[in-house]
Amino acid sequence: MSSNPEGLSETPIPPHSEPESVNLPAPNATSDVKFTRAGALWSSLILGFLILIVLLIFIAQNTAPTPFTFLSWHWNLPLGVAILLAAVCGGLITALVSAARIFQLRRAAKKNLVAALKR
C-alpha cells in the first residue's frame, strides 16, 4: 500500500505552463463598424418617425379653422392641416423636378456611353 491516504497516485503534476501566444492585431481605438445602407435606412426611418410625431403634435395644437382663398375658391381648414398640405405639395413638386433631372442625366450618360463604345 501507498502512504497516500486517499489512494491517489503520486505522479508529479507538471508546472503550470503559459499558453502559446497568438499574434492578434491590436484593437483599434475606433470602431470597425462600417456605414451601411441598412444602417442609413434605419436612421432615416427613426428620423422620419420623430418628424411625424412632431407634425402630429403641431396639427393637434393648431385646430382653429382658418379661411383660405385661392383665385375664386374660398374654404376653411384647420391651420395645422393647411400647413401639412402645403408641405406635402412642396415635397411632391420637389420630387417631380428631381425625377425630371435624374431622367435627363441618365439620358445624357447613356448617350455618352454609346458614343464612347463606338470609338
Q: What is the pLDDT of residues 9-44, one digit of tens each?
A: 566 666 666 666 666 666 565 666 777 888 888 899
User: What is the arithmetic mean of pLDDT over 2-9?
Assistant: 58
Q: Is 9 exposed, middle or buried (0-12, 13-18, 19+ CB in 10 A)?
A: exposed
Please, which contacts does 51-58 make with residues 24 or more away whose CB atoms are closer than 8 Å?
A: 55/84, 58/83
Beta-carbon contacts of residue 75 (< 8 Å; ≥ 6 apart): 67, 68
Q: What is the pLDDT of residues 37-86, one digit of tens each?
A: 888 888 999 998 998 899 889 888 988 899 988 899 999 999 888 888 88
Q: Where are the domains of the chain?
A: 37-118
pLDDT of residue 3: 59
